[in-house]
Structure 1
Amino acid sequence: MITEQSLNRIWDGCLKQERKQQEMLYKVLAPRMLAACARYAKDRDEAEDIMQEGFIKVFGSMDKFRGEGSVEGWIRRIMVHCAISRYRKLKPVILADELPEGVTVHMTYNETGLEAKELLQMIEQLPTNYRNVFNLYAIEGYSHQEIGETLGITELVSRTTLHRARGVLKDKLSRLNMREAHRLAC
């Protein structure tokens, strides 16, 4: 694990256009940035493409980092924006009601025995607009106003989409719990 201080030294070398420091920055942060990109991509290849595009932007705009917050946080934000930009270019956000009537939309965490990997897979299965809003809010910590600005939607649409995404996840968790209960009862 690299420290913030070490990362800052690498970053200083990147600002001086030192090729080895740029390679080091990539090697150190690529696994974490790939994981961030994967939350928005449909598969690993697309996540890698997004990450590559993100690093190109990082290296092309290093002078724009103002030192507010961490270098890693700034780079992660660029990766997220690259992922979101890709979807905005490919197709507009679809806001049609894709949920069946009567789906409960309040989500609370309970002990399901669900592994983090399984939960991430459920999130990946969400419709693109639900997944993007959910990731930006729940994982990246964006506000609904920031999500709206990033995705070109209103704050209300962001809230509604998050509400629906949580409902879909809760429904999937409920079905999983029922299958598990049934399996244990047999």
Structure 2
Amino acid sequence: MSDIQQTNKERSLAEAQLVKNCLAGRAESQELLYRRYASKMFGVCLRYAKNKMEAEDIMQEGFIKVFQNLKNFRCDGSLEGWVRRIMVNTAINYYKSNLKYLQTLDIDDCSNRENVSVEATDNISLKTLLTLIQKLPEGYRMVFNLYVIEGYSHKEIANSLGISENTSKSQLSRARKVLQEKLKTINAVCYEQIA
């Protein structure tokens, strides 16, 4: 058995014991599970949320679901991956419940924009990029995150969000155009500061 396989086996056994202890109601194990994944899961939630408060709400709701459904976790997979999937699904459900407040740009607003290269990403920080993504309208942000970050197909996005595949594709395209425009503006400002 290779070192990687041994490490994965040890991780799986440790996760199985942690899950068992959580299910037995041991508060210290529940706290350990929360502390182990809270930081990463906050990052996941933050990508889907408009701001930190909304991300905290999504994460809190997500961890409630984690503990309510821990009995359904099969120890043959990654606990972190399972928790992450719950957080993403919680963000999707949060989005669906707030769909009536969805902000979208008018089609004409997007169709007249030129196609801009995204080479500007090299000149900005990850924090700035995250902020730009957070400022996208909800539908664009949700589709962008699911497609680009989570690797969902347009069919999966359509099924998850209750929209058509074409809507998913157009919202992704529009999200990219909006981000490209913002990156172009940031790049121009950076260039002016250097020149």
TM-score, with normalisation over the residues of structure 2? 0.83
Shift of 1:8: 4.0
Shift of 1:67: 4.1
Separation in 2, partners of 1:15, 1:63: 7
**Are the structure 2 counterparts of residues 15 and 98 from structure 1 closer, same or farther at C-alpha, using a change threshold of 3 Å?**
farther
Aligned pair 1:125/2:153, yes or no?
Answer: no
**Are the structure 2 counterparts of residues 66 and 40 from structure 1 closer, same or farther at C-alpha, using a change threshold of 3 Å?**
same
Separation in 2, partners of 1:24, 1:120: 28
**Are the structure 2 counterparts of residues 25 and 166 from structure 1 closer, same or farther at C-alpha, using a change threshold of 3 Å?**
same
Q: Which amino acid in structure 2 is aligned with residue 73 of structure 1?
A: G
Aligned pair 1:170/2:180, yes or no?
Answer: yes
Shift of 1:118: 0.8
- Which string of whole-angstrom CA distances, capped at 9 and with x for unpartnered residues, describes residues 27-86 of structure 1? 111111111111112222221111111111111112222345311111111111111211
Q: Which amino acid in structure 2 is aligned with residue 35 of structure 1?
A: G
- Count matched residues: 183
Q: Percent identity?
A: 43
Query: Which residue among 143, 150, 157 is the counterpart of 1:147?
Result: 157
The two structures, once aligned, show a CA RMSD in angstroms of 2.2
Gaps spanning 5+ residues in structure 2: where?
Answer: 1-9
Contact 2:120–2:184 (Cα < 8 Å) also in 1: no
Shift of 1:108: 4.1
**Are the structure 2 counterparts of residues 12 and 160 from structure 1 closer, same or farther at C-alpha, using a change threshold of 3 Å?**
same
TM-score, with normalisation over the residues of structure 1? 0.86
Q: Which amino acid in structure 2 is aligned with residue 145 of structure 1?
A: K
Shift of 1:94: 5.7
Separation in 2, partners of 1:83, 1:180: 34
Partner of 1:112: 122
Higher share in helix: 2
Q: Which amino acid in structure 2 is aligned with residue 172 of structure 1?
A: K
**Are the structure 2 counterparts of residues 157 and 100 from structure 1 closer, same or farther at C-alpha, using a change threshold of 3 Å?**
closer
**Are the structure 2 counterparts of residues 69 and 177 from structure 1 closer, same or farther at C-alpha, using a change threshold of 3 Å?**
same
Contact 1:107–1:166 (Cα < 8 Å) also in 2: no
Gaps spanning 5+ residues in structure 1: where?
Answer: none
Separation in 2, partners of 1:68, 1:145: 27
Separation in 2, partners of 1:111, 1:81: 28
Contact 2:46–2:55 (Cα < 8 Å) also in 1: yes
Q: Which amino acid in structure 1 is aligned with residue 17 of structure 2?
A: R
What secondary structure sits across from 1:17 in the alignment?
coil
Partner of 2:4: none
Q: What are the equivalent positions in structure 2 for 1:55-94 lying under 5 Å apart?
A: 55-67=63-75, 69-92=77-100
Separation in 1, partners of 2:143, 2:116: 16
**Are the structure 2 counterparts of residues 98 and 119 from structure 1 closer, same or farther at C-alpha, using a change threshold of 3 Å?**
farther
Separation in 1, partners of 2:188, 2:133: 19
